[in-house]
Structure formats: C-alpha cells, structure tokens
Amino acid sequence: MAIIQSEVFEAFKDLGVSDEKALRAAGALARRDDDVGSLKADMALVKCMLGGLMAFEIAIFFKLFLH
C-alpha cells in the first residue's frame, strides 16, 4: 500500500469507518490520482501540439508577407 493510501486508510480508521470501507475509499482515491496523472500527460501532449501548430502558422505568415 502506498504511503498516501495508508495515510488515508488510517484517517478513515480514526473516524471509525470499518476496515473494508476504509480500504475501498483509499483505493478509490489512489485510482483518482492515477486518472489525474493521465490527464496531465495528455495536456502536456496537447500543449506541445498546439505550440508546433502555432509555430507553423507564424512561419506561414512570415513567408506570405515578407517574401
């Protein structure tokens, strides 16, 4: 069990939640963290693609008007 997951598990246990429910809640939070990491990676790809597209359009602009 990861450190953050065990911390969440212990916090739920201190609140009086059963072991099974606390473990499922900690697992759900860990899955959410994985999903957020995946979205961050996708956004980094989109930013790179947008930067390339903008550079291409600026190059076309200069080619059209400065040639």
Q: What is the mean pLDDT of each run of 10 residues along the chain (67 residues)?
A: 72 86 82 82 96 96 88
User: What pLDDT is attached to residue 4?
Assistant: 61
CB atoms within 10 A of CB 9: 20
Residue 27: both structure tokens together: 């697992």
- Its sign, for the CA torsion 45, 48, 54, 60, is negative
User: What pLDDT is attached to residue 47?
Assistant: 97
